Amino acid sequence: MQSTNKINQEMTNNLSFQNAHAERISKLSPKEPSIVNRSIGISLFKDMTLGRRFEDKCAEMYYRGKMFGFVHLYNGQEAVSTGVIGAMKKQYDWFCSTYRDHVHALSAGVPAREVMSELFGKETGCSKGRGGSMHIFSKEHHLLGGYAFIGEGIPVALGAAFTSRYKKEVLGEKDISPVTAAFFGDGTCNNGQFYECLNMAQLWKLPILFVVENNKWAIGMAHDRATSEPEIWRKADAFGMKGEEVDGMDVLAVRGAAQRAIERARAGDGPTLIECLTYRFRGHSLADPDELRSAEEKEFWAKRDPIKLLEKNLSEKNIVSENEFREIEKEIDKEVNDAVEFALKAPDPNPEDLTKYIWAEDK
């Protein structure tokens, strides 16, 4: 009984936190959203739908006992990955993820077959089956990896941004100005790496976007209970850095914020801290019973589904038709099912290659 009462009290408390989060979204200052044409609109919808359907299939495979280990899904946060990475130049910009990295990889262009194979620990995975769910990496697609420990990827992203400036100003590579995006959650923003990297990025005016995916929960800890300043974007002020708060359930708002930050970074005006107010529709991981979040909270955020919001926007503007949306979904389902079939049939890594890819090899 005591345990039940404690959970009920937690739910009551968390409802107030939900209201605070919702109020922040309602009071967001009007910002210029990204303007999209038909081609971009369809591309955004495809990318978010691929992320959602891919993660749903991962859950199915996990509960059927086909996939093992820790698996953290991205459902509900698709507007952040699609909005930011879709605004960047994949051929030379860089991306750094977290343990919730499958969809970042897909947005960066890593084929669904390779991501799914990695989740099954197969040799055909983008990390050759050595990384699994939390360590997706692809040099070819400029994905600097997923990281199991929070904050672990931010210094890596900072290094990539420093490299970009070094190549431009020291080595004379003036033709391009690569930008790096570092993704991380609200819980990370209480860790030292976050502050140290913000300081260094602003000090050296590095071309980097610090993208906070504030889904208001750090595993089972409500965000507002864990920090003295819940509005993370304001922490940029301490370093003289540009900070922006954005509706993370609106892909066009996220894309607009990313475009402004990218423009500043390429122009040499330094980093931006973007706080995306979003929500994960599933528990922290597939092993999480998800008992601490109230039904009212989940219902509130389900109504703000980023994919449905984009579909509504594009439909009302007669950019994409209802039939076209449904055909896209069918195509995505085929792609995801193909990825599963490919991964299941793919070979396991050869035990004799256990130490392969650990050390540099002679050419």
Kindly tell me the burial class for residue 22, based on how many C-beta atoms sit within 10 Å of its own C-beta (0-12, 13-18, 19 or more).
Answer: middle
Asked if residue 237 belongs to a domain, the reply is yes
Q: What are phi and psi of 180, to 5 degrees?
A: -115, 140
The tens digit of pLDDT for each residue in 22-58 reads: 778 777 766 777 778 999 999 999 999 999 999 999 9
**116: domain CATH number?**
3.40.50.970
Instruction: Give 33's contacts (C-beta < 8 A, 6+ positions apart).
Output: 250, 252, 253, 255, 256
Asked if residue 259 belongs to a domain, the reply is yes
> How far apart are alpha carbons 63 and 149 in whole angstroms?
24
The tens digit of pLDDT for each residue in 133-175 reads: 999 999 999 999 999 999 999 999 999 999 999 999 999 887 7
- What's the domain count of the chain? 1
Asked if residue 23 belongs to a domain, the reply is no
Asked if residue 26 belongs to a domain, the reply is no
Cα–Cα–Cα angle for 75, 151, 225, rounded to 5 degrees:
70
Which structural domain, as residue segments, surrounds residue 105? 34-343
Asked if residue 7 belongs to a domain, the reply is no
Asked if residue 20 belongs to a domain, the reply is no
Categorize the per-residue pLDDT at 13 as very low, low, confident or very high, splitting at 50, 70 and 90. low
243 forms bridges with which residues in the sheet?
Answer: 273
The answer to whether residue 95 scores a pLDDT higher than 70 is: yes
Roughly what angle, to the nearest 10 degrees, separates helices 322-345 and 38-63?
Answer: 40
pTM score, whole prediction: 0.92
Asked if residue 104 belongs to a domain, the reply is yes
In this prediction, residues 191-211 reach a mean pLDDT of 97
Asked if residue 250 belongs to a domain, the reply is yes
Residue type, 165: R
Instruction: Give 270's contacts (C-beta < 8 A, 6+ positions apart).
Output: 201, 202, 205, 206, 207, 241, 242, 264
What integer pLDDT is reported at residue 14 of this predicted model? 53
- Cα-Cα-Cα-Cα torsion 67, 284, 51, 83, nearest 10 degrees, comes to -150
